[in-house]
A and B are shown apart, each in its own frame.
Chain A
């Protein structure tokens, strides 16, 4: 894992001291709320429906156990005993007090964490594949490149006030586990015919009120031009992105309105110009960063077999684990979606338990996923049963990854000041309706995502089944959509028709699964069947 150098630490410490003074001036009345609001947002402090909310950055979703433990301690000490893991691989706390925020940030800084780049029109915390460094199918570990981009983008003076927020994802596998093409810039690390590693760039993707899938804009950028090309992409956006209408200010609108080819032409022109400027960090810096991401000391003699005689454990292994690149090891995903639970929420005790398990059984590493779960990336197969038993006793041993119970849901109207409808109660009812292991096994992979407003923080556009909560004359109403995907086969979901009330949308989801099961061929997933038979049979069942 990356370790701060003296510059990183000084930057974060200085920012804490600066914010402490800003908070003091706000409380004393020297700063008005209008003056203070952009300052608090630059430090991750929002005002939500019930209180201040602090969003803490987890760069590319990677944490060590000390960091994770502190996240649990903060939940106890400064919040109400829990935290919420987000679809941007971050964590947020819902009940923060303004005058305590500088102390929280100071504590975070002691473990190399902060809340910078979690708000505002800047380059946000960079996301990545939660299995990076462990996945059997990756070309390289994408995190050194994500870290290089983090260092480039942190406090980049030219990109602190972009037309809108800007999200970057970096992956290095054919299987996209980070919704890469639904980002402002998506970067896929690839290998060219000569065997060299480089970056494939996609630009102009996103969800929100105008969902777009990013087109590829460069199939190979050499590593010694990575930052320069990223800078060219941002410069064109910063120059021509709309600032007159926040709903048309994201790069996806610029790429769409210019057309992909014209945007590429302008980026290439800017890139050629920038190549004459010495802005690219030396490759030695990338090598320095890479040294922080070497493989842990895997036990070459670790047995590769797994005792799955316990049927509950067997189910969990089938659903919640993924092949590891090292023999004898496995990637374990901890579901934060117990039946009827609040997606992404974890108590302070659960957070600390996961920290301890990461320390004791995963080479001190944990990951946050954009699906609001936690990953132990390097678990020895021989230890897996012990790990699962501990999780199960703590209520986070649910076997449901990528099933209908593994719902992504934004905080919705229960917490969020932007939301139009509640997301969590719908997620809870669906989770309970499909709670039995037998039912989930029968349905198999089904990614269901719920947003409480058009901003789409719950990724409903990318759900095999998506649900969008809207306000219909002061009453919550839920639009249903089918056919979205965030994987390598990225697609946007299509709305089925008129919306439903809370119970009605749960019934409609059940009817949709019945249509799927009645029409399923072979090993087809819900998404495959929908793509083959189209919307009509589903509409007939739901509205007929």
Chain B
């Protein structure tokens, strides 16, 4: 699948396109197929996101997992500070990244 990501303008937070809006959780990502460029133009144009781009991902029963480790770290947070990630109470979260 193709998933669309970028950053929130004011907070800089990593966000993912859900099909109708933006979410902090990569598991909410929608498959944008070949509509990424058009979505980026529209969403950046109205300041909903900036520095947006499309990445490869895989969806299975556990959720959406970006294909590249860099995007998985973006999705989770720093692997060396689990307390600052989206899953601070999940000690297995790093395994999802690696």
Contact = CB atoms under 8 A, between A and B. Distances in A.
Contacts of B78: 50, 94, 414-415, 424
Contacts of A51: 7, 11-14
Q: Would you call the interface of chain B mostly helix, strand, loop, or mixed? A: loop
A327 to B, nearest CB: 43
B80 A47 contact: no
B13 A99 contact: no
A47 B44 contact: no
A98 B73 contact: no
A50 B77 contact: yes
B79 A98 contact: no
Interface string A63-77: 000000000000000
B87 to A, nearest CB: 14
B80 A428 contact: yes
Interface string A22-63: 000011010001000000000000010111100000000000
B95 interface: no
Given A27-B9, A96-B12, A98-B10, A49 B80 contact: no
B51 A47 contact: yes
B68 A33 contact: no
Contact of A33 (B51, B67, B69, B79): B51
Given A49-B73, A413-B70, A425 B11 contact: no
Given A413-B69, A414-B80, A50 B10 contact: no
A474 interface: yes
B50 interface: yes
A33 B50 contact: yes
B2 interface: no
Nearest to B47: A29
Interface string B58-69: 000000000111
A342 interface: yes
Interface in B1-21: 7, 9-14
A474 B44 contact: no
A52 B74 CA distance: 13
Contacts of B10: 27, 97-99
Contacts of A422: 73, 79-80
Contacts of A342: 80-81
A49 B51 contact: no
A115 to B, nearest CB: 15
A425 B80 contact: yes
Nearest to B69: A474
B37 interface: no
A29 B50 CA distance: 11
B69 to A, nearest CB: 6
15 contacts: A27-B9, A27-B10, A49-B14, A50-B12, A97-B11, A98-B9, A98-B10, A98-B11, A342-B81, A414-B73, A414-B78, A414-B81, A422-B73, A474-B67, A474-B69
Given A49-B74, A97-B12, A414-B78, 7 more contacts: A33-B50, A50-B13, A50-B14, A51-B11, A80-B84, A422-B73, A428-B80
Interface of A: 26-27, 29, 33, 47, 49-52, 80, 94-99, 342, 413-415, 419, 422, 424-425, 428, 471, 474-476
